[in-house]
């Protein structure tokens, strides 16, 4: 991400849907204590372990698997993605065959639960330089709207109320934040594309890289996803992730 003069005065709002959920940016530095983290979701994406990793969770000889998010518009216009999305995200959706082929309907049907970090203006540049390095294998930064779902303790915190009150709201009354997310787009060299979940599990079980075993990444993400939805309605449940964890643990 490049920085111009205007951006220097702004905080960085950074979305996490993968390793950032369990490993905050600059986690080994004291400044990370000033970052704030809120749960919520992105509309219009599906999360998959369809990005290969030759560095953090694998090697050039034995590439691991890490997550990326696929936009609804790409899914609706590429037949090769559709069966997987119909199987996991749309299995109980009415008119699913209409939805999967219509980017707008699909955008409304898909949600990726995750978190957003508030990084104060004075640390925004350092954090994005750190991430550009940490996620060098195929990821690029993109602008997205993140929907915040505060937990009850956060809702009562006057400092958080003051930040949230200035933000626009979605139809559900949830604050919406213009933010940055790192995505392994379908054109990047490390994008694997649709892969049988058993094959992905077999790869994750054996690979390791500079940041540790691939399985640690999967289980770290799975743990961080539990109870992410503060409403207690378990809206953050991800059937694809659950299937993948089951396959990895079965063998
Ligand atoms: C994440 O945790 O959201 C993430 C961070 C960098 C690259 C990809 C995903």
User: What pTM did the predictor assign?
Assistant: 0.93
Residue scoring higher pLDDT (110 or 232)? 110
Q: Whose CA is nearest to atom 6 of ligand 1?
A: 182
What residue has token string 């699909």?
Answer: 106
Q: What is the Cα 46 distance to its own chain's centre?
A: 9
CA of 16 to the centre of ligand 1 (A): 5
pLDDT at 233: 83
Q: List pLDDT tens digits, range 192-224.
A: 999 999 999 999 999 999 999 999 999 999 999
98-102, 137-141, 143-147: range with lowest mean pLDDT: 137-141
Q: Residue 182: which pLDDT band, with cuts at 50, 70 and 90?
A: very high
SS (H, E, C) the chain: CCCCCHHHHCCEEEEECCHHHHCCCCCCCHHHHHCEEEEEEEECEEEEEEEEECCCCCCCCCCEEEEEEEEHHHHHHCHHHHHHHHHHCCCCCCCHHHHHCCHHHHHHHCEEEEEEEEECHHHHHHHHHHHHHHCCCCCEEEEEEEEECCCHHHHCCHHHHHHHHCCCECCCCCEEEEEEEEECCCCCCCECCCCCHHHHHHHHHHCEECCEEHHHHHHHHHHHHCCCCCCCCCCCCCHHHHHHHHHHHHC
Please identify which of the residues 7, 94, 135, 216 carries the catalytic annotation: 135
Compute the distance from residue 95 Cα to the ligand 1 centre, in Å.
32
- To test the ligand 1 pocket, which listed residue (50, 128, 135) has its Cβ within 8 A of the most ligand atoms? 135
What interhelical angle do 239-250 and 197-206 show, nearest 10?
A: 60
**Which tokens hold the place of 234?**
């378990």
**82 closest CA partner among 94, 93, 92, 72:** 72
Domains for the chain: give ranges and CATH numbers. 5-250 (3.10.490.10)
The pLDDT tens digits for 5-49 are: 555 678 999 999 999 999 999 888 899 999 999 999 999 999 999
Q: Identify whether 135 is a catalytic site residue.
A: yes
pLDDT in tens, 75-114: 999 999 999 999 999 998 889 999 999 999 999 999 999 9
């Amino acid at each position: 991400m490049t920085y111009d003069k205007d951006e220097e005065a702004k905080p960085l709002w950074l979305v996490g849907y993968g390793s950032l959920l369990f490993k905050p940016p600059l986690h080994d530095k004291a400044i990370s204590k000033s970052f704030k983290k809120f749960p919520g979701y992105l509309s219009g994406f599906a999360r998959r372990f369809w990005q290969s990793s030759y560095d953090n969770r694998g090697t050039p000889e034995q590439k691991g698997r890490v997550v990326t998010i696929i936009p609804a518009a790409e899914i609706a216009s590429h037949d090769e993605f559709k069966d997987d999305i119909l199987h996991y995200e749309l299995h109980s959706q009415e008119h699913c065959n209409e939805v999967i082929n219509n980017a707008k309907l699909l955008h409304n049907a898909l949600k990726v639960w995750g978190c957003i970090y508030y990084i104060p203006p004075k640390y925004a540049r350092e954090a994005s330089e750190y991430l550009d390095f940490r996620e060098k294998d195929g990821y690029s930064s993109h602008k997205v709207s993140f929907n915040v779902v505060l937990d009850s303790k956060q809702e009562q915190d006057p400092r958080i109320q003051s930040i949230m009150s200035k933000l626009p709201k979605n139809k559900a009354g949830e604050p919406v934040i213009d933010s940055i997310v790192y995505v392994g787009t379908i054109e990047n060299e490390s994008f694997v594309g649709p892969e049988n979940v058993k094959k992905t599990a077999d790869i994750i079980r054996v690979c390791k890289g500079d940041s540790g075993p691939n399985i640690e990444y999967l289980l770290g993400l799975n743990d961080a996803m539990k109870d992410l939805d503060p409403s207690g309605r378990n809206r953050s449940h991800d059937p694809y992730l659950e299937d993948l964890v089951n396959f990895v643990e079965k063998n």
